[in-house]
């Protein structure tokens, strides 16, 4: 949610900065609604003040034995007028809010212009791409061959885009998320185990609702949704609170493992094979809530925290800055970590590290007091560290051997009972 004041002061500037996203915005209607709302509010609040003060006349009249009936009749009329105006203002406010909640965050100045992922800017690469002396199998084929990954059973038990892991793969997935949580905790993130369902208010706070309801799984007859990411519960821990002692360089940091549920509406035909795009996947998430000053540095360090995991797992990757057109609704800037997948011969997203500036904080009502006692909105950031399923995929593909086995990266061996090979 943008600062409405920003819009009132210079809507043209906001529109210009939003244009980086590749869509144009017309704020005439929202500004007109805002103007009309304020006009109405001023009017009926004045009338209400009048009603309140004359209301106090009634007991006085009655006490002195006078007839209060004419006054009461007049006030009744006034009350009806006010109710009408209030209703009108409420309707306008609803329309205003609907439009307002639909405006995406303003990209930061260094976000590259562009339409889609082809326009993302590569920032750096890490690792050496392995030269195979055999044709590397896809994780999918390798998983089937080893009998540890079954799409068929996923379909049998749920539907398409669900996968069942068994044996060594199931254990590897568990090892990975333990590894990630341990490393993140060691870097100062508090480990959280949140509910895997969240209510509409939380999802509005982080920006999934109201616009992207189609991407979510909703529980029937309940105000509950399966979370699409741990970002939702983690960021909303502090919703509607005023933080004390939020100083630059001292962010609040959370990490959590959760499964993530996404309906992936509109992704038919994309990554239909294998374990890359699922309705349910495991992810370990990082969330920071920080003072607006220094939030740039927090974004960099959060990204580095995610990168550190890939490095320990010896998985080559690159970092790209998403262009305006590829940027998520709530994000002001996103760095994607893309891991190398040899069987696909390309880099694929494995982590997404974003800063939301004060966009989510305003929606979720997270505030802090500055030394002058004034209420301000902190910045929120988050990133995957990492998408566990895709990490498993990357390990399968990068660390496979010619005889159909997988080398466990040394950092992970303590989590795999010390074994060096998957099977």
Partner RNA sequence: GGAGAGGUGGCUGAGCGGUCGAAAGCGGCGGCUUGCUAAGCCGUUGUAGGUGAAAUAUCGCCUACCUAGGGUUCGAAUCCCUACCUCUCCGCCA
**For RNA, the closer CB: 24 or 221:** 221
Site for RNA in 356-395 (CB under 7 A): 367, 372-375
Q: Strand, coil or helix: what is 367?
A: strand
Q: Which of 321, 330, 351, 352 is catalytic?
A: 352
Q: Where does this chain touch RNA (CB under 7 A) — which range of 17-25, 72-80, 401-409, 412-420?
A: 72-80
Nearest CA to 331 among 294, 360, 368, 293? Answer: 360
390 is catalytic: yes
Examine residue 292 and tell whether it contacts RNA (CB under 7 A): no
Contact between 38 and RNA by CB under 7 A: the answer reads yes
Binding residue for RNA, selected from 55, 178, 201, 311, defined by CB under 7 A: 55
115 alpha carbon, distance to own chain's centre: 21
Shortest reach from residue 29's CB to RNA, in Å: 17
Q: Which of 12, 53, 67, 268 binds RNA (CB under 7 A)?
A: 53
Q: What does the block give as tokens for 170?
A: 């199931």
130, 277, 376, 413: the catalytic one is 277
Contact call for residue 72 and RNA (CB under 7 A)? yes
What six digits make up the tokens of 423? Answer: 């099977």
* Residues 125 and 115: beta-carbon distance below 8 Å: no
Distance CA 72, CA 54 (A): 9
Q: Select from 22, 79, 294, 409 the one that contacts RNA (CB under 7 A).
A: 79
CB of 15 to RNA, least distance (A): 21
Kindly state the tokens that stand for 279: 């309705």
9 near RNA, rule: CB under 7 A: no
277 is catalytic: yes
DSSP string, 224-258: -EE-S-THHHHHHTTTTEEESS--TT--EEEEEEE
Using DSSP bridges, classify how beta strands 346-355 and 333-341 pair: parallel, antiparallel or unpaired. Answer: antiparallel
DSSP 390: H
Torsion of the alpha carbons at 121, 386, 223 and 332, rounded to the nearest 10? -30
Nearest distance, CB of residue 79 and RNA, angstroms: 4
CB atoms within 10 A of CB 78: 16
The answer to the question of residue 158 lying near RNA (CB under 7 A) is: no
| C-beta separation of 183 from 246 below 8 A | no
244 binds RNA (CB under 7 A): no
Q: Is residue 193 close enough to count as binding RNA by CB under 7 A?
A: no
CA distance 367 to 46: 30
Count of residues that bind RNA according to CB under 7 A: 24
Q: Which of 22, 79 has the CB closer to RNA? A: 79
> What residues are labeled active site?
262, 277, 349, 352, 390
Residues binding RNA (CB under 7 A): 38, 41-42, 45-46, 48-49, 51-53, 55-56, 58-59, 62, 72, 75-76, 79, 367, 372-375
């Amino acid at each position: 949610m943008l600062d409405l004041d920003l819009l009132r002061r210079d809507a043209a500037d906001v529109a210009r900065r939003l244009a980086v996203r590749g869509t144009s915005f017309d704020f005439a209607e929202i500004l007109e609604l805002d103007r009309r709302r304020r006009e109405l509010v001023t009017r009926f609040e004045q009338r209400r003040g009048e009603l309140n003060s004359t209301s106090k006349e009634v007991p006085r009249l009655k006490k002195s034995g006078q007839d209060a009936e004419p006054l009461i009749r007049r006030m009744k009329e006034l009350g009806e007028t006010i109710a009408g105006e209030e209703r009108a203002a409420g309707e306008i406010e609803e329309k205003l809010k609907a439009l307002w909640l639909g405006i995406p965050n303003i990209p930061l100045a260094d976000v590259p212009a562009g339409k889609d992922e082809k326009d993302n800017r590569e920032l750096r690469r890490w690792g050496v791409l392995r030269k195979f002396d055999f044709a590397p199998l896809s994780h999918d084929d390798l998983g089937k061959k080893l009998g540890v990954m079954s799409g068929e059973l996923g379909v049998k038990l749920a539907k398409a885009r669900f996968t069942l892991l068994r044996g060594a793969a199931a254990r590897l997935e568990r090892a990975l998320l333990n590894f990630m949580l341990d490393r993140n905790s060691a870097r100062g993130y508090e480990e959280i185990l949140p509910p895997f369902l969240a209510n509409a208010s939380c999802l509005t706070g982080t920006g999934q609702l109201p616009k992207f309801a189609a991407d979510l799984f909703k529980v029937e007859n309940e105000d509950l949704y399966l979370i699409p990411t741990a970002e939702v519960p983690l960021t909303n821990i502090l919703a509607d609170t005023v933080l004390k002692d939020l100083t630059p360089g001292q962010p609040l940091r959370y990490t959590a493992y959760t499964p993530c549920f996404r309906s992936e509406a509109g992704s038919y035909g994309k990554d239909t094979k294998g374990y890359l795009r699922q309705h349910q996947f495991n992810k370990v998430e990082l969330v920071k809530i920080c003072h607006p000053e220094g939030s740039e540095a927090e974004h960099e360090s959060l990204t580095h925290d995610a990168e550190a995991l890939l490095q320990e797992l010896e998985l080559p990757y690159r970092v790209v800055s998403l262009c305006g057109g590829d940027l998520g609704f709530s994000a002001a800037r996103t760095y994607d970590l893309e891991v190398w997948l040899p069987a696909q011969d390309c880099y694929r997203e494995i982590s997404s590290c974003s800063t939301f500036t004060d966009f989510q904080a305003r929606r979720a009502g997270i505030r802090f007091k500055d030394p002058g006692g004034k209420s301000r909105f902190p910045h929120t950031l988050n990133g995957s560290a990492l998408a566990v399923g895709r990490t498993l995929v990357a390990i399968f593909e990068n660390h496979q051997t010619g005889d159909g086995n997988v080398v466990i990266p040394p950092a992970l061996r303590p989590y795999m009972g010390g074994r060096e090979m998957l099977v």
